[in-house]
Structure 1
Amino acid sequence: MRFSLQHSDSEMKNKAPRRSCGRVFHTIPTMFALVTFAPKPGAPDHARVMCYPTPEGDAMLTYLSPFDAWIEAAYSSKPGKPYRVIDASTFDPREMVSDLGGQLNVGLHIGWAASDGKLLAKPSGELVGYMALQTLAVAPADMEDIEFTLNAENRKSVDTCHEKAGLFAYSESLEASMKWGEHRLDQEVALAMQNAPATCEASSADINQIAVYDLEGKQWHFVALVDLVDNPPV
C-alpha cells in the first residue's frame, strides 16, 4: 500500500480507437479517474490524467466509487486547473503504456490518510490518499484492446477497510452511488466537506489512521492503520 504524498499528471491524447465500442481501454469492474484538459492546436481533447509517482513509474489514480473520485476532484482542483471525473474506460492509456515500456500502473484508492482523527492535507489543500498498486503488462499486440481487471487482493483491501470502519453496507452504498448524477454527487460532496474533520499538515511519519466516508450516515470514520497492514509505512 502507498500514500499519495505527491501527485503528477500524465499526458493523454484521445486518439481515434479502432474498436467498435469506441474505446481501447476497459476496466473490470467499472472504475473512475480524474483528468484535467489541456487542449493543444489540432488536439482539442488533449488531457492529462491524475497520477502519483512510484518506483515503477507513474500510476494512474483510480476509484471504485464516483463519490470518492468527486471528493478528490474537489480538493485537488485549482483555478485554471479543474479536475473532472471520468469513467476510466474512456481514457486512452496507450501513451502511458509506451512511456513505461509496455506496462500500465494503476493505483486504486482505498481511503484517505489521517492522524489522530484529523485528515492529512498537503500545503496545497489536497488530501493524502491511501492506494493499492497494480501493474498490467501490455503486449504490443494488445495495445488496441487493453483490459484491466482489478485483482481480488486489492478489491478485498477496499472492502476490509470499510468493514473495519463499521460500514458493512458499503457494497450497497457503492451500488446506489453509481446511479447518482452530477447534481446529487455535488450535493453529497459538499456535505462531506462540511462534515470533514480538521486537517493537519501531511507527513508520512504521522499517519496512523485511514479515513473513509459513510454515504448513509453522512459522517467520516477512521480505521487504525495497524489494523490494515502488517507493516505500516514509517
Structure 2
Amino acid sequence: MYPYPPQSMGFPAGRRHTVLAALPLHVLVRLQPSGSSTARVLCEPVKAGPAAGAQAMVLYLSPFDAHLDALWLGLAVEDYQVLPVASFSPDELVARHQGHLPYCLHLAWGAHDGRIAVRAQGDPVRLSSARVAQVSASIDSIPLDIGLADLECHARLWECAGLYAHAETAARLEQLNPQQRHRHAEWAMERIPGRTEPGREINQIALYDAESAQWHFVALDFLAEMVAGPR
C-alpha cells in the first residue's frame, strides 16, 4: 500500500512540492527505518474515472479514519503518522505519475450484509472519490480540488446513518493526541461485527461512530445516487 521509494524529481536540490487545500485534510504515512529521508503515503488503486489506473493518495477529512486504516494495515502506533496533507511532500508520487498527482477523498468503507468487505490482501474496501491534480515544474504548490458534492455526500452519509452529531464527535477526536486516537481505533477494530470473504461484492457503506463505539451500515444505493460509484 506504500509503493513509492525515493526517486529523483529532477528539481533543484532542496526543492519540494507542497499541497494546498481549502479545508483540513490528512494523509496516512508509514514511517521508514531510521536514516531514511522519505516516508510512504497510503495510496488507493483507482479503477474508474479520470484517475483510472493510478495509485491515488488517500485524503481523510477526519484523522481518526486514517488511524482506522493504519490498524487495518497492522501498523503499531510508532510505525505511522497521520499528518496534515500540507506537511507531506508528494514528489515521489508525482514522479511515478509523469507530473500528475492522483488523489482520492476517503468517504467510508464497503460492507456486505453488516460485515466489513475486505480484499485479498486483507485490507478493507475503501469508498472514495478520485481526481488528478496537474503539477507545474515552475510552481512549488499543488492545489487540490475537493468538490462540494463530495463534501455534501460525506455529510449526508452520516445523517443517513442517524449520526447527526458526527461533526462534534470528529472535533473531539481531533483534540486527542495520536496515541489516544490510536487506542480509539483499536476499540473500533474490536467492535467490527464481522468481515466478508475476500472479493465479496459490497451492498452497504460502513461508518464507525466513536461516540457510541458502534459500526453503522447504510445501503450502497445511497452512495450510487451521490457519486459515480466507488473508485
| Fold equivalence (TM over 0.5) | yes
Q: What is the Cα deviation at residue 39 of structure 1? A: 4.9
2:172 to 164, 176, 187: 176
Aligned to 1:209: 204
Residue 4 of structure 1: aligned partner: none
Q: Deviations over 1:158-182 (max 9, x none)?
A: 1121111111112222222221112
Give the structure 2 partner of residue 51 of structure 1: 43
Please say if residues 27 and 60 of structure 2, whose CA atoms lie closer than 8 Å, have aligned partners that are also in contact.
yes
- Structure 1, gaps ≥5 residues long: 1-6
Is 1:128–1:202's contact at 8 Å kept on the other side of the alignment? Answer: no
Structure 2: gaps (5+ residues): 47-51
Superposed displacement of residue 147, structure 1:
2.7
1: CA distance between counterparts of 2:90 and 2:6? 7
- 1:130 aligns with 127
Match of 2:196 among 200, 207, 214: 200
Question: Is contact 2:134–2:142 with CA below 8 Å preserved after alignment?
Answer: no
- The residue number in structure 2 matching 1:153 is 149
| 3-state SS of paired residue (1:130) | strand
- What are the superposed Cα offsets for residues 135-172 of structure 1, whole Å, 9 maximum, x if unpaired? 22222222x12232422122122112111111111222
SS state at 1:10 partner: coil
Mapped to 1, the partners of 2:149 and 2:82 lie a distance apart of 25
Asked whether 1:163 is paired with 2:159, we answer yes
Equivalent pair of 1:225/1:232 in contact (CA under 8 Å) = no
Assess if the C-alpha contact under 8 Å between 2:120 and 2:199 holds in 1: no
TM-score (norm 2): 0.82
When the two structures are aligned, how many residues end up with a matched partner? 218
Q: CA–CA distance in 1 between the matches of 2:183 and 2:14?
A: 35
What is the match of residue 34 of structure 1?
A: 28
What is the alpha-carbon distance in structure 2 between the residues aligned to residue 167 and residue 78 of structure 1? 28
User: C-alpha separation between the residues in 1 aligned to 2:70 and 2:7?
Assistant: 20
SS of the residue aligned with 1:216? coil
Distance 2:144 2:98 in 1: 17
Distance 1:17 1:167 in 2: 44
- Provide the identity percentage: 29
2:184 paired residue among 182, 188, 211: 188
Letter in 2 for 1:170: H
Q: Which amino acid aligns with 1:219?
A: Q
Higher strand residue share: 1
Q: Distance in 2 between matches of 1:226 and 1:12?
A: 41
Q: Answer with 108-117 or 88-97: which moved more.
A: 88-97
Distance apart, 1:56 and its partner CA: 4.7
Q: Distance in 1 between matches of 2:162 and 2:121?
A: 31
Please say if residues 13 and 92 of structure 1, whose CA atoms lie closer than 8 Å, have aligned partners that are also in contact. Answer: no
1:112 aligns with 2:109: yes
Assess, with a 3 A threshold, how the Cα gap between structure 1 residues 72 and 211 changes in structure 2: closer, same or farther.
same
Measured in 2, the distance between the counterparts of 1:45 and 1:140 equals 22
CA distance in 2, matches of 1:214, 1:123: 26
Task: Give 1:33 shift.
Answer: 1.2
Deviation at 1:69, TM superposition (A): 0.3
TM-score by length of 1: 0.81
Give me the whole-angstrom Cα distance separating, in 1, the residues matched to 2:83 and 2:187.
Answer: 21
C-alpha distance in structure 2 between counterparts of 1:133 and 1:207, whole Å: 19
Whole-Å Cα distance in 2 between the matches of residues 12 and 108 of structure 1? 24
